[in-house]
């Protein structure tokens, strides 16, 4: 991260904490809900399968930029399926950088060729060892690992949603992140129980066990892109929700925090670590501030 960006984010954080402001800094644009996979834990794929046009996405970027957002995520559906009149995902990343977003990240299932040097981070979903990942995501593990090996840059971070199927594979994914070329780290979430995937939710006991393992992994210097101090809040879902500093834009609709905001009772069971980490940060939790600083400087 550049020093100037760091100063920008520090000023934003200070203003937010001191004046209890609710301005957003992180925005996600959904490029499409079309997807080539149909993962067991996912409730957002292929609801419309529409690929939103380039002009619309650029307009959405402008709106987010004008709102003060400087960290931009592109998400889906599958982001690498996005294309419009010769424009590709790469053009969107370049456009976002030129517009002035300081960090531009992409979330992907990793099943397509990875050539996206311009992104700050490519969050690539890997949901366990070959067996467990393939149960959740279809027979994709080997293809994904091949794509990672052939990637043109080392800006990949594994993104794992821990659930009833893969809860025992956290150390495996940490080790894989450590030893795999082009992979910087792994970032975890717990399964968020959308109405049709409740059976994959972790119990409190599961969460305690998983958090103990994640803590242990961090102690062993595994490349974990999460904050140790947020784990107790994640176990008990005692972090504040929603996260006012995050917004999502999908097909012109702006939502605070996540596109899941309207699902009754879901926020109390939210498994997204970023919500805990950001809300604790912007509520002025000093330990979180120090840890976030160290973690971002290491991996972004």
Distance CA 28, CA 26 (A): 7
Quickly count: other Cβ atoms within 10 Å of residue 99's Cβ. Answer: 14
Nearest to 137 by CA among 116, 170, 159: 159
As a dihedral over the C-alpha atoms of residue 55, residue 101, residue 30, residue 161, rounded to 10 degrees, the angle is 160
Distance CA 224, CA 217 (A): 7
Phi-psi region for residue 251, left (φ > 0), alpha (ψ -120 to 50) or beta? left
Alpha carbons within 13 A on the beta-carbon side of 228: 17
**Which of ligand SF4, ligand SAM, none lies near 162, with the C-beta cut-off 5 to 8 A by kind?**
none
**Which of ligand SF4, ligand SAM, none lies near 257, with the C-beta cut-off 5 to 8 A by kind?**
ligand SF4
**Which of ligand SAM, ligand SF4, none lies near 25, with the C-beta cut-off 5 to 8 A by kind?**
none
**Which of ligand SAM, ligand SF4, none lies near 191, with the C-beta cut-off 5 to 8 A by kind?**
ligand SAM
> In whole angstroms, how close is the CB of 123 to ligand SF4 at the nearest point?
11
For ligand SAM, the closer of residues 77 and 223 by Cβ is 77
Quickly count: other Cβ atoms within 10 Å of residue 254's Cβ. Answer: 14
Is residue 194 near ligand SAM by the rule CB under 6 A?
yes
For ligand SF4, the closer of residues 186 and 222 by Cβ is 186
Q: Which residue has the tokens 């934003």?
A: 12
Please give the residue ranges that form the binding site for ligand SF4 (CB under 6 A). 35, 37-39, 42, 44-45, 76-78, 109, 192, 241-243, 257-258, 260-261, 266-267, 270, 272, 275
> In whole angstroms, how close is the CB of 219 to ligand SF4 at the nearest point?
28
Pick the stretch among 1-9, 39-47, 147-155, 226-234 that binds ligand SAM (CB under 6 A).
Answer: 39-47
């Amino acid at each position: 991260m550049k020093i100037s960006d760091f100063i920008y984010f520090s000023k934003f954080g200070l203003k937010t904490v001191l004046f209890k402001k609710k301005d957003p800094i992180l925005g996600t644009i959904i490029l499409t809900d079309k997807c080539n996979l149909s993962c067991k834990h996912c409730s957002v794929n292929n609801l419309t399968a529409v690929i939103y046009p380039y002009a619309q996405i650029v307009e959405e970027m402008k709106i987010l930029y004008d709102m003060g957002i400087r960290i931009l995520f592109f998400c889906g559906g599958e982001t690498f399926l996005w294309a419009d009149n010769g424009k590709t995902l790469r053009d969107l990343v370049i456009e976002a950088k030129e517009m002035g977003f300081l960090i531009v990240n992409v979330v992907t299932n990793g099943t397509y060729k990875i050539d996206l040097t311009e992104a700050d981070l490519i969050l690539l979903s890997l949901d366990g060892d070959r067996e467990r990942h393939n149960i959740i995501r279809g027979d994709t593990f080997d293809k994904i690992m091949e794509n990672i090996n052939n990637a043109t840059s080392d800006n990949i971070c594994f993104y794992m949603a821990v659930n009833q199927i893969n809860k025992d594979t956290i150390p495996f994914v940490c080790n894989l992140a450590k030893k795999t070329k082009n992979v910087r780290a792994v970032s975890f979430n717990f399964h968020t129980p959308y109405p049709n995937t409740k059976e994959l939710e972790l119990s409190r006991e599961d969460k305690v066990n998983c958090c103990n393992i994640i803590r242990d992994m961090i102690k062993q210097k595994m490349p974990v892109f999460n904050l140790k101090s947020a784990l107790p809040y994640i176990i008990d879902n005692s972090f504040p929700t929603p996260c006012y500093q995050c917004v999502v834009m999908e097909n012109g609709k702006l939502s605070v925090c996540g596109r899941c905001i309207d699902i009754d009772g879901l926020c109390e069971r939210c498994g997204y670590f970023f919500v805990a980490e950001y809300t604790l940060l912007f509520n002025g939790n000093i330990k979180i501030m120090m840890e976030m600083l160290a973690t971002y400087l290491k991996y972004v």
